[in-house]
């Protein structure tokens, strides 16, 4: 006669076996995915690397100065435009909302700088 | 089971008496059972241990594969704020295997459609050689690679290579240097740190600030254009730790194209070129005399007559023909007064002093293009006399800047460096003059900009001080008349100096605006003034009210105009 306890143990053993089997296959398939993910990560890292170079190429001070002057009407800061923080007066009540300068809309910037690779090729 | 207390007394009645053999069998069973339980317990324990806790000896797949990391053959170079100055990008290089090439002529014709810059005859010769590997073109862009692939010519293939890219082009060309096609450093920090850049992937952080570099380069270029000079040099150095924030030499080059660099643009005027600096050396002579206690600010010398020694005559450019006090000698840049001051201190002392402030040995900066100073073989009285006003001794601008930094920062000499020092790092400088002397030199330098030859270097709010220098260029063994080296060395703010700023224009010609003058005060001083006005806000130097009484008091100088006469308190 099979006791109830034996039944329970047999059931548990089978369940553990099936569970282990499933888990093992899951791990195997994940291990299979890992190299793909790694190579994709590497691709993205390389892309980020190129973008960083591009970013610093586009951020050359000379270019920013030119864009600032032409498109935003900006000038280098002068010493007379700086003030110590303790000398800044408190804003009068109802201050900046009425300032017409703050609502002025500038036209979108148009940029003619060629992409980095095009720049290098053109120089060649 | 003998002697065991019955758990359930009711059952006992039903049980028959136990025979002794069964008793023995039971106790054997018990021992065996106990052994098995122990064994199973061990197995269970081990199972729990293996499944629930990670052990070191256990191989872990994800760990053995490791995290993907981007490795380049050469580390990046960044500026002091982390802006990329040099990096290595992957490119494809085209090579051919002529042995498996089917039709070389057709291949050349096809290639010419996508790579028009290839020389057809040379390429044909390459493709008909009996070799299995030959480069056709290095470093193609991704688009070129795609187009070549589309041609589908057998025997052509690509190899991944790296190409050094300098996104800011010529901005910091002389300090960065460049690499050859195989990414070996050939100049600048690329050469000095060649091994480190190959081995250590962490970016190399320079002390350069690209914004300051840009301001200096732009203003110098404008001055070279305006005065039709042949070149220029400029340096900005932090006087508190010797960090070089900007170093420019013009003309410069684009390090992205090392094969196109012309040899005259390679020359680094700021560190490799050595020049007679002229009157800027009077800063050292005056500091030396004041520090040695030979003269006080109220003393002076008779500058009525030029000095004649052997075949030389030493004159004053802005001659006053009278007795001059020390501040006047400095302000009017009197050669006669300075020579007398130097002779009062002594020839050997002068040499020792210049040795201390780094004038007699090459500066220990981290690039390969460093010029050794030209020092007279025998340091005689005549040498001491000319050296006192900056002739007969050639130094690089870098040496001058480092030396003047020590004169204004309170008297500590810091060796100049192109690498950013870690924050709060201990200063490695050594004292060369007393703080008191340094403070007097600051007042004198401010005087030159407020009232003397350096007025054009003023930058409202930044309390600029400095000294002009104009020297005739030495060509061969003679002075070349009309060919000048016009320079200005300044520092700001003069009440607590933060930066030394130097500008030098090579062979400027005067213009109508400068009344034909091409001296340091007319040519280089405005550059320094404009650069300081631009970089002051960038470097976070607090602007001051130059007319504020406490500032005027700090910069005030007693100027004695007659030997035993009455004194005039000048408040600038």
Tell me whether residues A57 and B62 touch, CB distance under 8 A.
Answer: no
Is the pLDDT at B498 greater than 80? The verdict is yes
pLDDT of residue A110: 60
A116 closest CA partner among A41, A63, A38, A68: A63
pLDDT of residue B263: 82
Tell me whether residues B70 and A49 touch, CB distance under 8 A.
Answer: yes
Residue among B207, B279, B368, B388 flagged as catalytic? B279
Sign, CA torsion A6/A7/A9/A13: positive
Residue A45 host element (H or E): helix A4-58
Rounded (10°) CA dihedral B137, B143, B146, B152: -60
| Among the ranges given (B45-54, B192-201, B351-360), the one the predictor scored with the smallest mean pLDDT | B45-54
Alpha carbon B264 to chain centroid, angstroms: 21
Taking CA–CA distances from A52, the nearest residue in chain B reads B84
Separation of alpha carbons B112 and B329, rounded Å = 71
Q: What is the pLDDT of residues B274-324, one digit of tens each?
A: 999 989 999 999 999 999 988 888 888 888 888 888 778 888 877 778 888
Active site residue B279: yes
Taking CA–CA distances from A84, the nearest residue in chain B reads B542
DSSP3 helix / strand / coil % (chain A, rounded to 5): 70, 0, 30
Tell me whether residues B218 and A53 touch, CB distance under 8 A.
Answer: no
Q: What is the pLDDT of residues B319-341, one digit of tens each?
A: 778 888 899 899 888 999 999 99
Q: How close B526 comes to chain A (CA, Å)?
A: 16
Separation of alpha carbons B164 and B186, rounded Å = 12
pLDDT of residue B571: 42
**Most confidently modeled range among B143-152, B519-528, B539-548, B561-570:** B519-528
For chain B, the structural domain boundaries read 77-205, 213-570
Q: How many CB pairs (< 8 A) connect A and B?
A: 96
**Most confidently modeled range among B136-150, B230-244, B557-571:** B230-244
A52 touches chain B (CB under 8 A): yes
Separation of alpha carbons B470 and B479, rounded Å = 13
pLDDT of residue A8: 94
pLDDT of residue B509: 86
Q: What is the mean pLDDT of chain B?
A: 86
Mean pLDDT of B489-509: 93
Residues listed for chain A? 124
Low-confidence ranges of chain A (pLDDT < 50): 95, 102-105
pLDDT of residue A74: 83
Is the pLDDT at B101 greater than 50? The verdict is yes
Q: What is the pLDDT of residues B221-272, one digit of tens each?
A: 999 999 999 999 999 999 999 999 999 998 999 998 887 888 888 899 999 9
A60 touches chain B (CB under 8 A): yes
pLDDT of residue B21: 85
Tell me what ipTM this predicted complex has.
Answer: 0.71
Mean pLDDT of B424-445: 88
Alpha carbon B222 to chain centroid, angstroms: 23
Mean pLDDT of B503-517: 86
pLDDT of residue B258: 81
The CATH number of B77-205 is which of 3.40.50.800, 3.40.309.10, 3.90.1310.10, 3.30.750.24? 3.90.1310.10
**Most confidently modeled range among B10-24, B36-50, B476-490:** B36-50
* Secondary structure of residue A48 in the 3-state scheme: helix
Instruction: Return the structure tokens found at B1.
Output: 């089971």
Mean pLDDT of B14-30: 82
Taking CA–CA distances from B164, the nearest residue in chain A reads A53
Q: What is the pLDDT of residues A75-86, one digit of tens each?
A: 888 877 777 777
Residue B144 host element (H or E): helix B142-151
Q: What is the pLDDT of residues B120-134, one digit of tens each?
A: 888 888 888 888 888
Q: How close A101 comes to chain B (CA, Å)?
A: 24
Query: If one looks up domain B213-570 in CATH, what number appears?
Result: 3.40.710.10
- Do strands B557-560 and B567-570 pair parallel, antiparallel, or not at all (unpaired)? antiparallel
Mean pLDDT of B521-539: 92
Name residue, tokens 């400027």.
Answer: B508
Q: What is the pLDDT of residues B358-415, one digit of tens each?
A: 999 999 889 989 999 999 988 888 889 999 999 889 999 999 999 999 999 999 999 9
B412 closest CA partner among B349, B356, B355: B356
For residue B282, give every residue at least 6 positions away whose Cβ sits within 8 Å of its Cβ, in sequence order, or none.
Answer: B329, B330, B333, B338, B388, B389, B390, B467
- Going from the C-alpha of B444 to that of each of B207, B243, B318, B359, B464, the distances in angstroms are 29, 25, 17, 21, 11
Separation of alpha carbons B506 and B292, rounded Å = 35
pLDDT of residue A95: 47
pLDDT of residue B491: 94
Q: How close B68 comes to chain A (CA, Å)?
A: 6
Instruction: Return the structure tokens found at B398.
Output: 């870098």
Tell me whether residues B68 and A42 touch, CB distance under 8 A.
Answer: yes
Tell me whether residues B537 and A78 touch, CB distance under 8 A.
Answer: yes
pLDDT of residue B525: 93
pLDDT of residue A3: 85
pLDDT of residue A103: 46
């Amino acid at each position: 006669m099979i006791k109830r306890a034996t039944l329970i143990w047999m059931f548990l053993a089978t369940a553990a076996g099936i569970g282990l089997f499933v888990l093992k296959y899951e791990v195997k398939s994940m291990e299979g995915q890992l190299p793909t993910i790694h190579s994709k990560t590497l691709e993205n890292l390389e892309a980020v690397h190129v973008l960083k170079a591009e970013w610093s190429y586009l951020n050359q001070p000379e270019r920013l100065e030119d864009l600032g002057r032409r498109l935003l009407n900006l000038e280098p800061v002068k010493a007379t435009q700086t003030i110590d923080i303790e000398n800044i007066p408190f804003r009068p009540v109802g201050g900046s909302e009425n300032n017409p300068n703050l609502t002025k809309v500038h036209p979108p910037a148009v940029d003619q700088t060629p992409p980095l690779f095009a720049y290098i090729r053109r120089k060649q | 089971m003998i002697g065991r207390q019955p758990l359930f007394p009711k059952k006992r009645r039903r049980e028959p008496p136990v025979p002794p053999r069964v008793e023995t069998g039971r106790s054997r069973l018990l021992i065996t059972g106990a052994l098995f339980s122990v064994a199973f317990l061990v197995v269970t324990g081990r199972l729990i241990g293996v499944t629930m806790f990670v052990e070191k000896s256990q191989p872990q797949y994800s760990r053995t594969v490791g995290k993907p990391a981007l490795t380049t053959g050469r580390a990046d170079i960044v500026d002091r704020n982390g802006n990329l100055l040099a990096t290595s990008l992957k490119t494809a290089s085209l090579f051919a295997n002529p042995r498996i090439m089917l039709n070389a002529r057709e291949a050349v014709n096809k290639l010419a459609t996508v790579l028009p810059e290839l020389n057809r005859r040379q390429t044909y010769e390459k493709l008909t050689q009996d070799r299995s590997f030959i480069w056709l073109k290095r470093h193609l862009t991704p688009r070129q690679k795609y187009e070549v692939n589309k041609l589908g010519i057998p025997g052509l293939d690509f190899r991944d290579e790296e190409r050094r890219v300098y996104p800011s082009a010529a901005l910091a060309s002389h300090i960065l240097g460049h690499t050859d096609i195989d990414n070996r450093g050939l100049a600048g920090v690329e050469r000095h740190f060649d091994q480190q850049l190959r081995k250590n992937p962490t970016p190399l952080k320079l002390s350069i600030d690209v914004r300051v570099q840009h301001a200096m380069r732009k203003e110098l270029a404008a001055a070279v254009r305006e005065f039709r000079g042949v070149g220029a040099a400029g340096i900005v150095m932090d006087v508190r730790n010797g960090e070089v924030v900007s170093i420019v030499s013009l003309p410069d080059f684009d390090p992205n194209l090392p094969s196109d660099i012309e040899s005259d643009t390679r020359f680094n005027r700021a560190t490799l070129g050595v020049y007679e600096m002229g009157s800027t050396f009077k800063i050292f002579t005056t500091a030396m005399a004041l520090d040695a206690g030979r003269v006080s600010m109220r003393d002076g010398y008779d500058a009525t007559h030029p000095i004649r020694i052997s075949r030389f005559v030493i004159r004053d450019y802005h001659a006053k023909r009278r007795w001059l006090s020390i501040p006047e000698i400095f302000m009017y840049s009197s050669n006669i007064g300075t020579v007398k001051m130097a002779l009062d201190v002594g020839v050997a002392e002068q040499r020792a002093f210049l040795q201390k402030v780094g004038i007699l040995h090459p500066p220990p900066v981290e690039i390969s293009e460093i010029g050794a100073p030209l020092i007279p073989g025998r340091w005689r009285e005549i040498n001491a006399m000319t050296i006192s006003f900056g002739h007969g001794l050639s130094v690089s601008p870098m040496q001058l800047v480092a030396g003047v930094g020590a004169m204004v920062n309170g008297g500590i000499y810091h060796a100049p460096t192109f690498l950013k020092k870690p924050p709060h790092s201990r200063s490695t400088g050594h004292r060369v003059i007393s703080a008191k002397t340094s403070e007097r030199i600051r007042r004198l330098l401010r005087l030159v900009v407020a009232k003397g030859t350096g007025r054009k270097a003023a930058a409202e709010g930044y309390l600029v001080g400095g000294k002009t220098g104009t020297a005739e260029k030495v060509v061969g063994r003679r002075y070349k008349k009309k060919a000048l080296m016009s320079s200005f060395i300044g520092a700001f703010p003069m009440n607590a100096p933060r930066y030394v700023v130097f500008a030098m224009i090579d062979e400027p010609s005067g213009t109508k605006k400068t009344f034909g003058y091409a001296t340091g005060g007319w040519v280089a001083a405005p550059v320094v003034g404009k650069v300081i006005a631009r970089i002051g806000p960038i470097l976070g130097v607090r602007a001051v009210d130059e007319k504020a009484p406490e500032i005027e008091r700090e910069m005030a100088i007693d100027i004695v105009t007659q030997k035993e006469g009455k004194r005039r308190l000048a408040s600038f």
